[in-house]
Amino acid sequence: MLLAFSVAPSGTPASGSRPTDASVHDAVAAAVRIVRESGLPNRTSSMFTEIEGEWDEVFDVVKRATEAVGEFGSRVSLVIKADIRPGYSGELSAKVERLEQALG
């Protein structure tokens, strides 16, 4: 499966106040670090992180990343989009390659 997700904290963290610039880069970095350390194929853009693997392993990584972001606020927003296509792998880059070929 391919899974794209975005996770961000809101509210005040239990450990004290946060910077007032509304930036969430430290929280996102904590999540992306977990994804990258998972060893699963992944890619991060400005809005989403994509990860590829089997259902249970992908959702385990997303759960751990979400929990890490929870340390940065009293609430967490999680957006998920998945492409579940049994029998296929390497689609993280193959889908984009097919698109580029179609564009000529």
Q: Residue 24: its pLDDT value, please?
A: 86
Check: pTM over 0.75? Answer yes or no: yes
Mean pLDDT in consecutive groups of 10 residues from the start of the chain, 104 residues: 96 59 83 98 97 97 97 94 95 94 96
Tokens 């972001």 belong to 69
d(CA 96, CA 89): 13
Contact status, residue 79 vs residue 22, Cβ threshold 8 Å: no
- Furthest C-alpha separation in the chain: 53
Contact status, residue 55 vs residue 1, Cβ threshold 8 Å: yes
Query: Can you read off the two tokens belonging to residue 52?
Result: 């590829």
Q: Residue 22: its pLDDT value, please?
A: 58
Q: State the angle between helix axes of 55-69 and 25-37 in degrees (0 to 180), rounded to the nearest 10.
A: 150
